[in-house]
Structure 1
Amino acid sequence: MKKSFLSLSLLFAASCMLVNQAQAQLLKRLKDKVSDKIENKVDKALDGDISSKTTNGADNAQTTINQKALASAELPYTFVQGTDSIYFDDFAADITGEMASHWKSSGSGSIGTVSTFPGKWLFLKEFTSYKLKNDQPLPEDFTVEFDIITLSKGEARDLNSISFGFAHNNAISNYIGDAYNEGAITQTEIHYWNKEIINSSSDNKKYNTIKFPLEGYAIGKMHVAVTVKKLHMQVYLDKEKVLDTDMFASNPETKYFYISTSTNLDNGARIGVGNFKIAGL
């Protein structure tokens, strides 16, 4: 009986030892697995961080290169002023408050001054077109230059738009609203409301629209330069080219210059023009 009890005790002790060893081995395996997972996660995190840093560094370097490329991509200003003077007018001899003496209109206009921009300016009325009184048509090849000043309470869209171009005749009895009426051939519209430049021709049905940062001209001065050579026409606004294509259907073709305002000038906005230079090439 004692022997049996002793045997059972020894067997139980041995079983406990085996169980303890098995549990210890199991715990070790679990610990190793957890440790491996943690190490793997850390390695991946480190790899991801290094990769992210490498990628971000490459992206930042490429962005810097792109910005430098954009900054250096300045297109040349190729406008060349004509040398054979046809017309010049800075309104210096005109009386303030009166209409410009060398211009005619379908409505009204007044010579005025403003402290922001030295000199005299022809301030335009809405829904009105203007042409030179001189009935001599322009030559085949010539340039036109003038300045536009804009005054508003802070919103360029209040200026609505101003347009200019060439017409077949020098009549000014009616408003020229586009390139398809009142004998007009071409029109370039500076559309402050939509921040667009719109070019059109009734001669060859050309029409194009481009975006332009006109929100910066709520109060400002813009220089306009136009070159016409036979059928071809170029337009620059503050040295940025906005037109360079054929706009006329035949050569020679009678051409007269005109300017038109929009139908509305809102919130007291005003548009003035001046410093006109027309010269043959």
Structure 2
Amino acid sequence: MLHPKFQIRILCLPLILLPLQSQAQLKELWNKAKEKTEKTVDQLITKKNSQRVEEIRVSENFITGNIPVFSEDFSAYKAGSSISSIKSNGLAAVSILKGYPGKWMPLEDKATYKLSKALSYPDHFTVTFDLLATGDQIKDIAPLSFGFAPDNSTKEYMGISGTYVELQYYDSNMVNTGSKNPEKYANHTFDLEPYLNKILHISLEVEGERMTVYLGNRKLADGIFFAPSAAKNFYLSAPWEYHNGAKVFLGNIKISGFGK
């Protein structure tokens, strides 16, 4: 016959094992729940990425006008010579950049650039051009703006005017679009840092009072940005200042209308 102490220990053994068994079951349930949660998260991430890819694919459908209105790639100018098709309150000259094809116009700080001759824009047209921001870090470049001003004067530097797009380089991922008339403002997130020392292609489509803005292959804005009788004069205002040798260059400007 077992000693009473051993009988007590044997009787207590199931009570000791019971919590251990419950812990094992709880752990198994936890692992299953964790696995299910991770699978759900993966599915959500995949769905989100698929939607993003689809958004980018849709944004690639920009169509350039088929009737030339204005074109300037600076190929007719020698390096260092002034550009007669563009006027500015600063210097408009030609540069050749090692490692980048074609010719470029450096945007001098505190300078606004417009076309030398005011254009008569058709109701439906596109504007495309390239920007090349160079330097060691994106925050060395102050904001740059472009769009359509109510007049074609370059007597003094202007920041944003009329209907505009503003690249907030020093914030690295912020772009503003807006209009003075009708009064409108929108803030967008767009990563500008990957375009440091890389060409950023910009496309604008204007149809009546509506403007659509594309940066790279992304459709950034689309809406009513003009009053019905608003005058349109394409402009680009350089950053107010640069630091540590940074600079932005302009290239390949094309303005085109649409024919039947």
CA distances 1:188-246 after superposition (whole Å, capped 9, x unpaired): 11111112111121111111110111011221101111111111111111121122111
CA distance, structure 1, for counterparts of residue 71 and residue 211 of structure 2: 21
CA distance, structure 1, for counterparts of residue 205 and residue 244 of structure 2: 34
Give 1:239's aligned residue.
Answer: 217
CA distances 1:127-163 after superposition (whole Å, capped 9, x unpaired): 100111113332322111111112112x012122221
CA distance, structure 2, for counterparts of residue 26 and residue 250 of structure 1: 96
CA distance, structure 2, for counterparts of residue 152 and residue 70 of structure 1: 30
Give 1:269's aligned residue.
Answer: 246
Contact 2:87 2:116 in 1 (8 A): yes
Contact 2:131 2:250 in 1 (8 A): yes
Report percent identity of matched pairs. 27
Work out whether 1:74 is the aligned partner of 2:56: yes
Contact 2:89 2:113 in 1 (8 A): yes
Give 1:8's aligned residue.
Answer: none
Contact 2:146 2:160 in 1 (8 A): no
Structure 1 pair 114–245 and aligned structure 2 pair: CA distance change class (3 A): same
Deviation at 1:44, TM superposition (A): 3.0
Larger radius of gyration: 1
User: Which residue, 91, 94, 101 being the options, matches 1:111?
Assistant: 94
CA distance, structure 1, for counterparts of residue 69 and residue 41 of structure 2: 55
CA distances 1:1-48 after superposition (whole Å, capped 9, x unpaired): xxxxxxxxxxxxxxxx9xx76545433322232233333333333443
Q: Which moved more, 1:124-133 or 1:36-45?
A: 36-45
Give 2:174's aligned residue.
Answer: 196
Structure 1 pair 27–59 and aligned structure 2 pair: CA distance change class (3 A): same
Work out whether 1:125 is the aligned partner of 2:129: no
User: Which residue, 160, 165, 173 being the options, matches 2:147?
Assistant: 165
Segments of 5+ residues of structure 2 without an aligned counterpart are: none
CA distance, structure 2, for counterparts of residue 261 and residue 167 of structure 1: 14
Contact 1:138 1:254 in 2 (8 A): no
CA distances 1:95-119 after superposition (whole Å, capped 9, x unpaired): 3112212111011132100122111
Give 2:198's aligned residue.
Answer: 220
Contact 1:130 1:259 in 2 (8 A): yes
SS of equivalent residue, structure 1 residue 114: coil
| 1:21-32 equivalent positions in 2, closer than 5 A | 22-32=4-14
Give 1:207's aligned residue.
Answer: 185
| 1:55-66 equivalent positions in 2, closer than 5 A | 55-66=37-48
Give 1:250's aligned residue.
Answer: 228
Contact 1:156 1:219 in 2 (8 A): no
Work out whether 1:36 is the aligned partner of 2:18: yes
* TM-score, with length taken from structure 1: 0.83
CA distance, structure 1, for counterparts of residue 50 and residue 254 of structure 2: 37
Give 1:144's aligned residue.
Answer: 127
SS of equivalent residue, structure 2 residue 102: strand
| 1:168-187 equivalent positions in 2, closer than 5 A | 168-179=150-161, 185-187=162-164
Structure 1 pair 55–137 and aligned structure 2 pair: CA distance change class (3 A): closer
CA distance, structure 2, for counterparts of residue 59 and residue 241 of structure 1: 28
Q: Which moved more, 1:128-137 or 1:62-71?
A: 62-71
CA distance, structure 2, for counterparts of residue 79 and residue 190 of structure 1: 20
Q: Which amino acid counterpart does residue 38 of structure 1 have in structure 2?
A: L
Deviation at 1:80, TM superposition (A): 1.5
SS of equivalent residue, structure 1 residue 149: strand
Deviation at 1:69, TM superposition (A): 4.8
Work out whether 1:156 is the aligned partner of 2:138: yes
